[in-house]
Amino acid sequence: DKKNKPTQNFYWEVSTLGKGIALETLNRAPKQKVLLQFLSEQNQATKQAMLDDKFVNWRPTMRALEKKAFVEKKNLVVPPLLPQRESAPKVNREQKAAIDKISNKINQFAIFLLDGITGSGKTEVYLNSIVNVINNDQQVLILIPEISLTPQLLQRFESRFGGGIATLHSGMNDSERYDIWLKAKNAQVNILIGTRSAIFTPMPKLGMIIIDEEHDLSYKQQTGLRYSARDIALTRAQRLKIPIVLGSATPSFESLLNVKRGIFQELRLSKRAGKSKPPIIKTLNIKGQKLQENFSVQLLQLIDKHLMRNEQVMIFLNRRGYAPTLICQECGWVGMCNRCDHPMTIHEYKQRIICHHCGSERRTPAQCPECSSIDLRPRGYGTERIEQVLRRFFPTTEILRIDRDTTSRKNALHQLLNKVKIDQAQILLGTQMLAKGHDFPNVTLVGILDTDQGLFGVDLRASERMAQLITQVAGRAGRGKKAGKVVIQTQHPDHPLLTSLIEQGYRQFAQTALQERKQARMPPYTYAALLRATSTAVKFNIQFLTDIKQTLLQLRSDDLEILGPAPSPMERMAGQYRTQLLLVSENRKSLHGALDYLLQRIDSFDSVKRVKWSLDIDPQEMS
């Protein structure tokens, strides 16, 4: 039986000879010294996966130590079933109620929304809920929004259970992905933790699906074949007649409405697990203030105060790069992308300006291409620039920046996060990568530098995303024994959305916003589909979308509203012009019926030959 075949895992440990040598004898081989010291400090043989997380390119160094007989490679057999390794911590009353309700629905279709504030112990509910599934010889699929969350979640599960756990994500090569896919298909994997595309993995004994951070935009594939992993998971659970758990501290408006309609069963976790308390959140009015390099004096003083107490500080800015725009002070020239309707972002370290939409880049110009002036200046701040500012203000403080630019190397993110966890960094600076599920017990102050864009964004969901991001980032503060504080710099401290979020919490904010959506006949109270045409000329797009509109008007449907054709918010991207048509209906069946009617006829249009087109059901972004 393939399922019961033990799997082999390779481990490394210090040999008897290695235990007897003084580390100083390796002073001339510092990499060997560091690696041997690390292995010596472990209580047991060390997994190769752990070494991958801790060290870059460690294998040549390990081979050198093996040649000297200082280390030994072990081939340990791990049973495929999940023997419990670590006793589960005691759960509180709310957690137990959630676990019991989920466990009572094993082998039945049920949708649970696990709505728990940050730090309330949602992962512990997951861990306890799957025990009965595994004991029933079934599999569990856990979806997470980011690759960065994979190692820490894997560690939580492995510390509780034994083997039979695997991960699947885009950071793996094709061979690794195929190996895991095959094991899942052959039921040799009991628990599969993966990102969006893992939803398509065949699992013949699937008994439960868990979607962590269910609100996250990462679950929606925005290019190519557009799909929602969350919605596919719901359909898969329904067809298999198994329970599905959607977890979040900031549930999507769609999920909250489904709770209200009785489609989802809500499980509330209103208290933080353990003794930690939610942080205090305050706004700092910076309107009219003279900022010091994008920081208010008050925030700088607070940072200094927390650092003096040997506590960690997190600074959040959801904009990578040095600055979002390069401007000529003489003639007003702006460094725009030649292929997109958007400025290029300055990356000072690379000495390049890069378009974050199409990826095109060029060397940062030394003089203005319009007037030849050398007075070119950055406008605005990105994380790279803020890092330099913080180093000037706090020159003796260890600062770590975490964004896509600093984590592009394999295992770079895990190494940076480990430094934070062992207090090797006092200030942690980063983008939304920091907002998702990370646990930093010594972070007591979170400074949020720019939220105003979300208050006035043109996108339907801009305020919803803003509220989710603020709440998630704020949840990183005060997760240990010390109290946490969150400071939001804003020029609009009295904005009703911001005051509602801070004074009454995400839940009340969402209820108010949902009422506004209902009055305006907007999703989730209506259903939408976005048809987008892309071509070398706007006229081709207009003709194609007009043909679509005329075809749909033949239905004479009172349930269908057709908006457009209209230019996309970013009309030109990657050298192509983009135009869109929005379909809205209060009845999903009517919307899908209209789309079925259209799709049967669309290939007969002459205009279809000149465009590329896409259909996005329930679009999450209109850009």
Query: What phi and psi values does residue 596 have, to the nearest 5 degrees?
Result: -60, -45
Nearest residue to 605 via CA among 528, 538, 552: 552
pLDDT of 376-397, one tens digit each? 999 999 999 999 999 999 999 9
148 found inside a domain: yes
Rounded Cα gap, residues 554 and 177, in angstroms = 47
Residue 380, phi-psi category: left (phi > 0), alpha (psi -120 to 50), beta (remainder): left
Query: What is the 3-state secondary structure of 362-376?
Result: EECCCCCCCCCCCCE
Chain centre distance of CA 594: 34
Select the more confidently predicted residue: 148 or 246.
Answer: 246
Same domain, 570 and 510: no
DSSP category for residue 491: S
Rounded Cα gap, residues 103 and 90, in angstroms = 17
pLDDT score at 5: 47
**Angle, CA 408 vertex, CA 407 and CA 409 arms, to 5°:** 95
DSSP category for residue 565: E
Same domain, 241 and 124: yes
Rounded Cα gap, residues 99 and 105, in angstroms = 10
343 found inside a domain: no
Alpha helices (H) along 292-434: 297-308, 383-393, 412-421
Same domain, 441 and 307: yes
Rounded Cα gap, residues 294 and 381, in angstroms = 7
Q: Give the pLDDT mean for 74-96.
A: 65
| Tokens describing residue 45 | 């043989």
Share of the chain above pLDDT 70, in %: 94
Range of the domain at 37: 7-78
Give bridge partners of residue 236 from the DSSP assignment: none
pLDDT score at 437: 65
What is the side-by-side strand order in the sheet with 7-14? Answer: 46-47, 7-14, 71-78
367 found inside a domain: no
Query: Domain boundary residue among 23, 44, 78?
Result: 78
pLDDT score at 172: 78
| Tokens describing residue 541 | 């797009």
Same domain, 549 and 494: no
Same domain, 33 and 149: no
Q: At 148, which CATH number?
A: 3.40.50.300
Q: Give kind and range of the element (H or E) at residue 165.
A: strand 165-168
Long-range contact set of residues 588-595: C-beta below 8 Å, sequence gap at least 24: 588/527, 590/557, 590/559, 590/560, 591/527, 591/528, 591/529, 591/559, 591/560, 594/552, 594/555, 594/557, 594/560, 595/529
Q: Give kind and range of the element (H or E) at residue 239.
A: helix 229-240
Nearest residue to 550 via CA among 604, 590, 589, 619: 604
Rounded Cα gap, residues 311 and 307, in angstroms = 5
Candidate from 152-166, 215-229, 574-588 with smallest mean pLDDT: 152-166
Burial environment of residue 60 by CB neighbours within 10 A (0 to 12, 13 to 18, 19 or more):
exposed
Rounded Cα gap, residues 30 and 32, in angstroms = 5
pLDDT score at 603: 94
pLDDT at 79 over 70: no
pLDDT of 333-380, one tens digit each? 999 999 999 999 999 999 999 999 999 999 999 999 999 999 999 999
Same domain, 196 and 245: yes
Alpha helices (H) along 314-457: 383-393, 412-421, 452-455
Nearest residue to 350 via CA among 340, 364, 338: 364
Same domain, 484 and 548: no
Nearest residue to 446 via CA among 301, 296, 311, 315: 315
Do the bridges between strand 312-316 and strand 165-168 make them parallel or antiparallel, or are there none, so unpaired?
unpaired
Average pLDDT, the chain: 89
Chain centre distance of CA 69: 43
Residue 371, amino acid: C
Nearest residue to 377 via CA among 338, 340, 320, 324: 324
Contact at 8 Å (CB) between 299 and 534?
A: no
Contact at 8 Å (CB) between 111 and 246?
A: yes
Q: Give the pLDDT mean for 587-596.
A: 95
Query: Domain boundary residue among 519, 540, 564?
Result: 519
Same domain, 240 and 289: no
C-alpha pair distances (Å), 389 with each of 78, 425, 455? 49, 16, 26
Q: At 564, which CATH number?
A: 3.30.70.600
146 found inside a domain: yes
Q: How many domains does the chain have?
A: 4
623 found inside a domain: no
pTM for the model stands at: 0.81
pLDDT of 447-494, one tens digit each? 999 888 777 776 778 889 989 989 988 888 777 777 789 999 999 999
Nearest residue to 28 via CA among 3, 64, 4: 64
Same domain, 462 and 540: no
3-state secondary structure of 485: strand
Candidate from 55-64, 74-83, 281-290 with smallest mean pLDDT: 74-83
Burial environment of residue 176 by CB neighbours within 10 A (0 to 12, 13 to 18, 19 or more):
middle
Peptide bond into 569 cis (omega under 30): no
| Tokens describing residue 373 | 């002036």
3-state secondary structure of 318: coil
Same domain, 133 and 210: yes
Nearest residue to 611 via CA among 619, 598, 620, 602: 602
369 found inside a domain: no
pLDDT band at 44 (very low <50, low <70, confident <90, very high): low
Query: What phi and psi values does residue 73 have, to the nearest 5 degrees?
Result: -95, 130
Residues 6+ apart with CB under 8 A from 585: 526, 527, 559, 560, 561, 591, 594
Say what the alpha-carbon torsion angle 160, 165, 167, 173 is, to the nearest 10 degrees: 140
Query: Domain boundary residue among 489, 519, 549?
Result: 519
pLDDT of 282-331, one tens digit each? 999 999 889 999 999 999 999 999 999 999 999 999 999 999 999 999 99
Give bridge partners of residue 9 from the DSSP assignment: 76
pLDDT at 77 over 50: no
Give bridge partners of residue 362 from the DSSP assignment: 353
613 found inside a domain: yes
Same domain, 131 and 252: yes
Rounded Cα gap, residues 424 and 417, in angstroms = 10
Contact at 8 Å (CB) between 568 and 614?
A: no
361 found inside a domain: no
Same domain, 289 and 307: yes
Contact at 8 Å (CB) between 98 and 267?
A: yes
| Tokens describing residue 153 | 């979640």
